[in-house]
Amino acid sequence: MKHIIILGDGMADDPIVALDGQTPLQYAVTPGFDFLAKHGVNGTLCTVPGGFSPGSEIANLGVLGYDVNKVYEGRGSLEAASMGVDIADDEVAMRCNLICVENGKIKNHSAGHISTEEASELIEALQKELGSDTVSFHCGVSYRHLLKIRGGRKDVQCTPPHDVPGVDIDGALPKALSENAQPTCDLLVDLIRRSYDILMTHPVNRRRMEIGKDPANMIWPWSLGYRPSMLPLSDLYGIKKGAVISAVDLIKGIGRYAGLDVIEVEGATGLYDTNYEGKAEAAIEALRGDYDLVFLHVEASDEAGHEGDVDLKIRTIEYLDKRIVQPIINAVKDMEEPVAIALLPDHPTPCHLKTHTSNPVPFVIWHAGIEPDSVVFFDEQSACHGAYGYRTVLEFMPLLLNS
């Protein structure tokens, strides 16, 4: 049996008054999802273990069968894998945002969603001025970059910049959580302060300010960690050859550490205009070939949730159904080796909150010949009546592989 996990990021939601108390999953027309629910086995899954905030990286690590208590080392180190940057055993890596500061306060965490082209010039300047044998900056995408410190410690408390818009810089600076971490903390504070002078006078920012855009005038390091020690899925679950298909660096990075091949799909944007057909075709081709596990991640519904756009969220769900799930169901019916399909979100991103929550999500597992339960629709409430019942995230992979 081969396996495919189709994950609609942030697809789960809360009941919405404008939809007569239905959730987007209940309201959307999704014959493919409902085929899986009706002919498969359903349940609900707690994807965010206690003590963790409901980040996509936490939930997706769990869905792939990793215990975040043991392997989670922050966003930076996961994104590093996707950027092709190695983290040595004596290095600490972290997300390094380019942010916009105004009057000593954080104006925004994204420097007005600066373009990657502009950001790469700024990161290059930072590396030239602040880089050393100890400190290195690596360019990622838009405002999301990477900072590594050789000999650094991870027990430094750093504030995620998106949590503190409008807050004074001085009150939000890194704090050492141990005496040993003080040198790392002092270095980070020094880098933050010196970055302002370098960035503020850089031609890229001069140009941005001239046309009324936010300057990317400070770095903001956060989410520190060492190289994750993740066993590949081949060792953990006997997966012979697996692949990840996603537009998101964080997910591709997790895939790399998990020993999966990253299949790039042209036009996969991470937004609602993503290349759904291309992703479906890539997944089908992988399953027809020698891959025995495919992890297909679609970001669009999460973005719609963050925008609080109910209509858009419904559309992204219907696109996932019609343009990915239905073609995959049809394709696997003709495949020589049977394929089990799992469908789930990683966490809810309720439109009224515009952010993630830790509530349980619905999940379904289907393959030809599986004994179905009584559930007929794929949504948050129907899944509560599924035969799998309520599960914790580490039970998901074994359920799928032994279904």
CA 110 to mean position of chain CA atoms: 17
Nearest residue relative to Zn ion (C-beta)? 56
- Residue 183 to residue 207: CA distance in whole angstroms: 36
d(CA 259, CA 203): 41
Q: Least distance (Å) from Zn ion to the CB of residue 309?
A: 16
Q: Which two structure tokens, joined as six digits, stand for 277?
A: 């057909």
Least Å distance, CB 7 to Zn ion, is 8
Closest approach of Zn ion to the CB of residue 52, in Å: 13
Contact 231, 239 (CB under 8 A): no
DSSP category for residue 79 = H
Question: Which residues of the shown chain bind Zn ion in the complex (CB under 5 A)?
Answer: 9-10, 56, 302, 346
Nearer to Zn ion, 321 or 346 (CB): 346
- What minimum distance in Å lies between the beta carbon of 58 and Zn ion? 9
Nearer to Zn ion, 91 or 346 (CB): 346
CA–CA distance, 247 with 379 (Å, rounded to integer) = 25
Nearer to Zn ion, 22 or 56 (CB): 56
Q: How far apart are CB 62 and Zn ion at their closest, in Å?
A: 12
Q: Which is nearer to Zn ion, 373 or 380 (CB)?
A: 380
Q: Distance of CA 62 to CAs 45, 59, 99, 384, 403, Å?
A: 10, 5, 30, 20, 18
Q: How far is the CB of 9 from Zn ion (least distance, A)?
A: 4
Report the nearest approach of Zn ion to the CB of residue 350 (Å): 13
Residue (332 or 361) nearer to Zn ion, CB: 361
Q: Using the minimum distance from each CB to Zn ion, give the nearer residue, 52 or 196.
A: 52
Length of the chain counted residue by residue? 403
What angle do helix axes 310-320 and 300-307 make, rounded to 10 degrees?
170
Retrieve residue 2's tokens.
Answer: 């081969």
H helix runs in 321-377, sequence order: 326-333
Which is nearer to Zn ion, 56 or 184 (by Cβ)? 56
Tokens for 213?
A: 């855009």
Rounded Cα distance between 163 and 108, Å, is 10
